[in-house]
Amino acid sequence: MTDFIDGLKSFLANSPTPFHAVKEMELRLQSAGFEFLSELDSWNLEAGGKYFTTRNDSSIVAWIMPAKQSLVESGLRMVGAHTDSPCLKVKPQPEIHKHGYNQLGVEVYGGVLLNPWFDRDLSMAGRVSYLSKEGQLSRALVNFKDPIAVIPSLAIHLDREANKSRSINAQTYLPVILGQSEDKADFKQILKAQLEQEGVRDLEEILDYEISLYDTQPPAVTGLNQEFIASARLDNLLSCYMGLVAMIESDTEQGALLVCNDHEEVGSMSAAGAQGPMLAQVLDRLVPDAEQRVQMLARSMMISADNAHGIHPNFADKHDANHGPLLNAGPVIKINANQRYASNSETSALFRHIAKQVDVPVQAFVVRSDMACGSTIGPITAAELGVKTLDIGVPQFAMHSIREMAGTKDVQDLTKVLSSFFGQEQT
């Protein structure tokens, strides 16, 4: 358990943005013998081969070719997750100078729970595109790591109603404070200095960037019995990590695939998102013949892994009384009659069967009938590919907060089920 959780904590800490998460996954896949294939090149795939490709530096697909059968005969056991999390992103022209304070304007990405972002020690990370000294367009990842920004709360003395009713104006309340100066800061110069400090020597001019703010508090195991993991971005880096470890440790001879897409938190409609063509284009290259590809998909199954809402003891009335998942009581099958989740009785039954084989309990989540239901990449992927799909996840608290919480046992249990799923014969 200790090695597994330590690996998870390291992955979370080193993945402040989708770009960094994909880079971390690349390193782990390469260490496990997976070969990188560029989308620009022709692919020569061998039986039993292990491969991965990326798009936009923020989405990744990894797969294992079946050792003894063709993909058409084997089908694919697929696990899907997403690399992005709700956050605050720095605007293109962010500099604000008021009363001697240098601030940055930010944009809200996804459905952020905003209140917890106040009074946190924040840093910045992301991707920068620049012109090199040789006149070439280049890009690099940047991570300040140190706490360099903060959004201070307004004192209770100046807002006596704060504990009763506090709505947040994203435009005026969220600009972060970087420091004090008589002069207005130049954000691109700040980025340039940081990149040079991180070893980028050929930088001539920064052209653009995608920079996110994040909490510098590291992941931690909490609880009297160390039963919880607390961290930023558990939704949904937790599922990325579980899928990654499950694939690496599965030692399967069957066709297996892991896809982790960006942009789920904003609808998945992008070149690198689940509603984009990335996964379909990878599958086109794995099985070029259209009829055979349909046959392969008919023998395949996708498990969409995205965290579920655990029943909060202080807000139990927000759940259906018969469908309130408990932390550390097993992974959750997510069900919705209106197809907000892609699970059906066939895919749920297979998951329950595999979980029983590895002695893992299973829970079910259905949203209250008088509340709207969220969704994830499961229905999108099912509709795009026509593959039978299941939506599952580990239960968690504080979804979309700057710091979330899940059960350490659940994370290991779901990894065990996914690893077994990768090794299953034709689904």
Express each pLDDT in 388-403 by its tens digit.
Answer: 999 999 999 999 999 9
pLDDT above 70 (res 1): no
Q: How far apart are CA 58 and CA 281, in angstroms?
A: 17
Contact 392, 220 (CB under 8 A): no
Residues 370-382: pLDDT tens digits?
887 778 889 999 9
Per the structure block, which two tokens stand in for 91? 């605007």
Q: How far apart are CA 83 and CA 262, in angstroms?
A: 5
pLDDT at 324: 87
Residues 24-49: pLDDT tens digits?
999 999 999 999 999 999 999 999 99
**Kind plus residue range of the DSSP H or E element containing 353:** helix 345-357
Beta strands in 99-199 (DSSP E): 101-109, 122-132, 137-143, 176-180
Query: Where residue 339 falls among pLDDT bands split at 50, 70, 90?
Result: confident
Return the top range by mean pLDDT from 105-114, 312-321, 416-425: 105-114
pLDDT above 90 (res 425): no
* Cβ burial 44-67 (10 Å sphere, 16+ → b, else e): eeeeebbbbbbbbbbbbbbbbbbe
| Total count of residues recorded for the chain | 427
CA end-to-end span of the chain: 30
pLDDT at 409: 97
Residues 114-156: pLDDT tens digits?
999 999 999 999 999 999 999 999 999 999 999 999 999 999 9
Beta bridge partners of 131: 137, 205
Query: Where residue 367 falls among pLDDT bands split at 50, 70, 90?
Result: confident
Give the pTM. Answer: 0.96
pLDDT above 90 (res 63): yes
Q: How far apart are CA 277 and CA 291, in angstroms?
A: 19
Beta bridge partners of 392: 305, 333
Contacting residues for 130 by C-beta, under 8 A, at least 6 apart = 137, 138, 139, 140, 195, 200, 203, 204, 205, 206, 207
pLDDT at 369: 76
- Pick the closest to residue 247 from 18, 34, 392 (CA basis): 34
Lowest-confidence segment of 14-23, 90-99, 164-173, 403-412 by average pLDDT? 164-173
pLDDT at 246: 97
Residues 216-272: pLDDT tens digits?
999 999 999 999 999 999 999 999 999 999 999 998 888 999 999 999 999 999 999
Q: How far apart are CA 176 and CA 154, in angstroms?
A: 13
**What domains lie within the chain, and their CATH numbers?**
2-85+232-422 (3.40.630.10), 87-215 (2.30.250.10)
Beta strands in 161-219 (DSSP E): 176-180, 203-215
Residues 185-204: pLDDT tens digits?
999 999 999 999 999 999 99
Q: What is the mean pLDDT of residues 59-78?
A: 95
Q: What is the mean pLDDT of residues 329-344?
A: 91
pLDDT at 252: 86
Q: How far apart are CA 379 and CA 386, in angstroms?
A: 10
Between 208 and 367, the higher pLDDT residue = 208
Residues 256-294: pLDDT tens digits?
999 999 999 999 999 999 999 999 999 999 999 999 999
Task: Using CB atoms within 10 Å of the CB of residue 166, give its burial: 0 to 12 exposed, 13 to 18 middle, 19+ buried.
Answer: middle
Three-class secondary structure of residue 129 per DSSP: strand
> Rounded to whole angstroms, what are the CA distances from 163 to 50, 167, 172, 315?
54, 11, 19, 18
